[in-house]
């Protein structure tokens, strides 16, 4: 694969694409076979699944695909149907920052924002508070 497909800059950490991934120099048609599900030949994903097996970035690739809801192709050694079954559980257990969509861990603990976004939000609140105080205070 020549770089990440369907990549958007706000989709979080993609440093895993710089690892020595098994798919780097493979044609994307291997991972994204042509045709609709019913018209694809049986075993259309077999070669891609073989390439994914043992890849050092397999888990990060799978998490990226689940987080960004990649509907087509093989990602992280899983077919679209396999990922569709996994996505509900994944989304219930993993969190992303509400501002920048960076992965920030598991649900049920802490804030909905990553630390940089928490700091930016706090600075914004301080600025708004100070501006409101200046407007509300009588001139001296």
Q: Is 39 exposed, middle or buried (0-12, 13-18, 19+ CB in 10 A)?
A: exposed
Identify each DSSP E strand in 35-131 by its residue range: 94-96, 103-106
In terms of Cα–Cα distance, which of 60, 69, 2 is closest to 31?
2
The whole-angstrom distance between residue 114's C-alpha and the CA centroid of its chain comes to 15
Q: Check residues 129 and 34 and name the one with the higher pLDDT.
A: 129
pLDDT digits (tens, 9 = 90+) for 69-110: 888 899 999 999 999 998 888 877 777 777 776 777 655 556
Annotated domain spans of the chain: 1-140
pLDDT digits (tens, 9 = 90+) for 20-40: 888 888 998 899 887 666 556
So what's the pLDDT on residue 79?
A: 92
Encode 90-100: b = buried (16+ Cβ within 10 Å), e = exposed: eeeeebbbeeb
């Amino acid at each position: 694969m020549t770089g990440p497909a369907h990549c958007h800059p706000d989709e979080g950490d993609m440093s895993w694409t710089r690892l020595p991934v098994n798919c780097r120099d493979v044609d994307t048609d291997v991972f994204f076979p042509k045709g609709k599900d019913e018209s694809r030949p049986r075993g259309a994903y077999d070669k891609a699944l073989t390439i994914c097996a043992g890849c050092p970035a397999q888990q990060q690739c799978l998490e990226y695909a689940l987080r960004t809801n990649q509907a087509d192709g093989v990602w992280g050694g899983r077919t679209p149907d396999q990922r569709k079954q996994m996505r509900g559980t994944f989304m219930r257990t993993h969190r992303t920052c509400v501002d920048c969509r960076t992965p920030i861990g598991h649900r049920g603990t802490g804030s909905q924002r990553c630390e940089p976004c928490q700091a930016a939000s706090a600075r914004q609140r301080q600025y708004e508070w100070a501006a409101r105080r200046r407007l509300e205070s009588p001139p001296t």
